[in-house]
């Protein structure tokens, strides 16, 4: 089949405007006749549910957390990009578009990225209107800061808690709609199956995580805004509950999974402390604005950092990338850290760490300024490591952070499975092979506030109101039976190993062979090992308790079972993509100085995988990427 991205014709700066006019509208009095299901209440899902409720649709929103306010968007620290050019430093919609396409190493869809840059300004307006307390200058005007991968200051922020404040803004808007009855909220409900009727997504099956009750919900369209799959690596900066189940279930029902191998390792995280480690904590990338990254020049130099004189230090990012320096993009910074640690120059226990040193900034700007900018991050660091970063430079190391891949969507954010829309990190669309800092919040809110409210109508206008199947339709009964059968199976294995043990085992394989550096032999090893772990999981896992009550181990078991399938597809995609691009680094393809080498002749496409059945090879569908506005070039941040 050919994948039609439905990119509007015309010059790039006119596409979205033209498309908004060309799309069908739903008559205001008909809107209430359509039911929309939104799964996930982070920035994308929360903003979408609130906005669609305002428009008059009947919305049902679901999240696995005990409150919509706790979705993991809340943990984003650094900021949100917009092309406001409030700093008068040469920013523009086109520059934000250009930086994002380049940052994504030319593996994203131009039209989508341009639209993202175009609506970025409205997002800031909307967030301020909702009461998001962005940082201000003394004049009362909004403040900005710079961020990795850009040479202009376009990032808006609320201390180190930007994601929290943006999410609380969307949550407040959502709460108002709940009060008005236009959105019905289902917290502590996990989506376990997608229901497809006559080839269209028409509902979901969920489990009430308190009572264990499995129930069906029918709708005219389903929106998945369930985040990324970074926890396939076990250790990541994601929340413990983040999972791939919703999108994986949809994939199994026919939705194509695009570019699963594009997984971002974030350069500034707190290093692993020991075996007991359950998750990794990110330190905002904004720290790189004022912190200098270095390691000793000589391997095995165990002197205290302040005993190492300037001449014996290697500020390797400044040395290798003089124009971007410590602000080089995430993929590049992460690999550079791995490289110096591989050379034996890493610092801290286990040698897996590099210094992030604020000494120079403190002497230049004073402690007060640094404290005002990053005080909460310094405290967080001390709380976790027990080390005082005012005395001892921070130690950081890359960690799995964000997934650019996700379900394939067209320009309308609709999957190849009609009626299924996918928003935010759960889709694949805007970041290409690498996401720039402060772009995730922008994309989540763009999708939720300013894209789906328009594009959803284009689908719904073709659905006759009142024709929705009820939950007594056989497709729902079948899906419920599948869910119940799966849970019964998990609970009845009665093996000897816990869910966490399998998850860790999978994570180790993913990190070692499908992590920062990938090669053919390693990926083939991973492709051998993952099915073996999966097979043992279904024979040896021990899931205690029953399905009829609050059972966190059962929840985890279902998620890990899906990760064990998803991880294989990720490795498969990484093996197929025989080039390096952005965060996907195939060691076979690098320049003499270790930079990623793309192969545009062969791989300038989106890899969209079709599920062909358990144990069968997935089928590859290609969406060719055309670059009409950005010149394809090797990224250079030197």
Partner 1 sequence: MKLTLKIWRQESPSAKGRLVAYPMDHVEGDMSFLELLDILNQSLIKKGEAPVAFDHDCREGICGSCGFMISGIAHGPQKLTTTCQLFMRQFKDGDTIVAEPFRSKAFPVIKDLVVDRSALDKIVQAGGFISARTGSGPDANAILIPKEKADKSMDAAACIGCGACIAACPNGSAMLFTSAKISHLGLLPQGQTERHQRALRMVSKMEELGFGACSNHGECEAVCPKGITLEFIARLNRDFLVASVVATKEAVKKV
Catalytic residues: 330
Q: What share of the chain is helix, strand, coil (3-state, %, to 5)?
A: 40, 15, 40
> Among residues 562, 631, 621, 628, which one has the least CA distance to residue 191?
562
**Is the CB of 90 or the CB of 274 nearer to partner 1?**
274
Pairing outcome for strands 35-39 and 58-62: parallel
Complex with partner 1: residue 124 or 250, whichever CB lies closer = 124
Least separation, in Å, of the C-beta of 66 and partner 1?
6
Q: Which of 329, 436, 413, 402 is nearest to 112 (CA)?
A: 413
Nearest to partner 1 of 232, 607 (CB atom)? 232
Contact 573, 523 (CB under 8 A): no
Which residue do the tokens 């999974």 mark? 257
Query: Nearest approach, Cβ of 561 to partner 1 (angstroms)?
Result: 17
| CB of 13 or CB of 501, closer to partner 1 | 501
Rounded CA gap, 225 and 221, in Å? 13
Residue closer to partner 1 (CB basis): 384 or 521: 384
Query: Residue 508 is inside which H or E element, if any?
Result: helix 499-513
CB of 526 to partner 1, least distance (A): 25
Burial track 7-17 (b if 16+ CB lie within 10 A, e otherwise): bbeeebeebbe
CB of residue 237 to partner 1, shortest distance in Å:
8
Rounded Cα gap, residues 601 and 634, in angstroms: 13
Identify which of residues 54 and 519 has a Cβ nearer to partner 1 in the complex: 54
Rounded to whole angstroms, what are the CA distances from 87 to 98, 150, 273, 501?
Answer: 18, 14, 41, 50
CB of 378 to partner 1, least distance (A): 13
Q: Which two tokens stand for residue 258?
A: 């695009």
**For partner 1, which is the closer residue by CB, 298 or 539?**
539
Give the end-to-end CA distance of the chain in Å, rounded to a whole number: 42
In Å, the largest CA–CA distance within the chain is 75
In sequence order, the 6+-apart residues with CB closer than 8 A to the CB of 146 are: 152, 153, 154, 155, 289, 327
CA distances for 238 relative to 100, 246, 525, angstroms: 23, 16, 26
Measured from the CB atom, the residue of 47 and 340 that comes closer to partner 1 is 47
Angstrom distances, CA of residue 231 to CA of 24, 228, 380: 39, 8, 22
Both tokens assigned to 95: 């520059």
Lookup result for tokens 């076990």: 234
As measured in angstroms, the least distance from the Cβ of 71 to partner 1 is 8
Alpha carbons 114 and 629: distance in angstroms, whole number: 10
């Amino acid at each position: 089949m050919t994948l039609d991205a439905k990119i509007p014709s015309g010059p790039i700066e006119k596409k979205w405007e033209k498309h908004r006019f060309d799309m069908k509208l739903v008559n205001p009095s008909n809107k209430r006749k359509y039911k929309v299901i939104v799964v996930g209440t982070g920035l994308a899902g929360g903003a979408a549910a609130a906005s669609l409720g305002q428009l008059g649709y009947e919305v049902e929103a679901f999240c696995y957390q005990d409150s919509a306010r706790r979705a993991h968007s809340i943990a984003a620290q650094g900021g949100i990009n917009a092309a406001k050019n409030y700093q008068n430093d040469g920013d523009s919609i086109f520059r934000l578009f250009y930086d994002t396409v380049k940052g994504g190493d030319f593996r994203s869809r131009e039209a989508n990225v341009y639209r993202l840059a175009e609506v970025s300004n409205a997002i800031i307006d909307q967030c301020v209107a909702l009461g998001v307390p962005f940082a201000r200058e003394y004049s009362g005007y909004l403040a900005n800061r710079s961020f990795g991968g850009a040479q202009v200051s376009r990032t808006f922020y609320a201390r180190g808690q930007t994601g929290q404040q943006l999410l609380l803004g969307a949550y407040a808007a959502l709460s108002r709609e709940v009060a008005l009855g236009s959105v019905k909220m289902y917290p502590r409900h996990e989506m376990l199956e997608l229901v497809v009727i006559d080839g269209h997504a028409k509902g979901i099956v969920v489990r009430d995580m308190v009572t264990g009750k499995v129930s069906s919900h029918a709708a005219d369209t389903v929106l998945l805004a369930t985040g990324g799959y970074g926890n396939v690596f076990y250790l990541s900066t994601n929340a413990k509950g983040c999972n791939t189940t919703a999108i994986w279930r949809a994939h199994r029902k026919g939705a194509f999974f695009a570019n699963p191998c594009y997984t971002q390792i974030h350069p500034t995280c707190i290093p692993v402390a020991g075996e007991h480690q359950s998750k990794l904590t990110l330190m905002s990338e904004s720290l790189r604005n004022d912190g200098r990254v270095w390691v000793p020049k000589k391997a095995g130099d165990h002197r205290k950092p302040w005993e190492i004189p300037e001449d014996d230090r290697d500020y390797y990012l400044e040395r290798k990338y003089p124009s971007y320096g410590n602000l080089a993009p995430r993929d590049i910074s992460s690999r550079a850290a791995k490289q110096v640690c591989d050379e034996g120059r890493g610092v801290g226990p286990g040698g897996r760490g590099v210094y992030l040193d604020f000494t120079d900034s403190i002497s230049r700007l004073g402690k007060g300024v640094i404290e005002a900018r990053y005080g909460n991050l310094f405290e967080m660091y001390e709380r976790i490591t027990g080390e005082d970063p005012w005395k001892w430079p921070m130690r950081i190391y890359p960690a799995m952070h964000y997934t650019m891949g996700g379900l394939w969507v067209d320009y309308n954010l609709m999957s190849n499975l009609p009626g299924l829309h996918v928003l935010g990190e759960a889709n694949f669309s805007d970041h290409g092979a690498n996401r720039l800092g402060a772009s995730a919040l922008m994309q989540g809110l763009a999708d939720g506030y300013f894209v789906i409210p328009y594009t959803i109508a284009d689908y719904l206008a073709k659905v006759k109101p009142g024709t929705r199947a009820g939950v007594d339709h056989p497709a729902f009964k079948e899906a419920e039976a599948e869910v119940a059968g799966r849970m019964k199976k998990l609970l009845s294995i009665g093996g000897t190993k816990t869910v966490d043990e399998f998850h860790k085992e999978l994570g180790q394989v993913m990190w070692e062979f499908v992590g920062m550096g990938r090669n053919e032999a390693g990926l083939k090893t991973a492709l051998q090992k993952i099915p073996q772990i999966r097979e043992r999981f279904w024979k040896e896992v021990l899931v205690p308790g029953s399905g009829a009550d609050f059972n966190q181990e059962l929840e985890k078991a279902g998620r890990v079972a899906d990760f064990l399938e998803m991880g294989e597809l990720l490795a498969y995609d990484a093996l197929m993509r025989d080039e390096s691009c952005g965060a996907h680094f195939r060691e076979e393809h690098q320049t003499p100085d270790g930079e990623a080498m793309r192969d545009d002749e062969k791989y300038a496409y989106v890899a969209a995988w079709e599920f062909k059945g358990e144990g069968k090879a997935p089928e590859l569908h290609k969406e060719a990427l055309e670059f009409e506005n950005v010149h394809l070039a090797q990224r250079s941040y030197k």
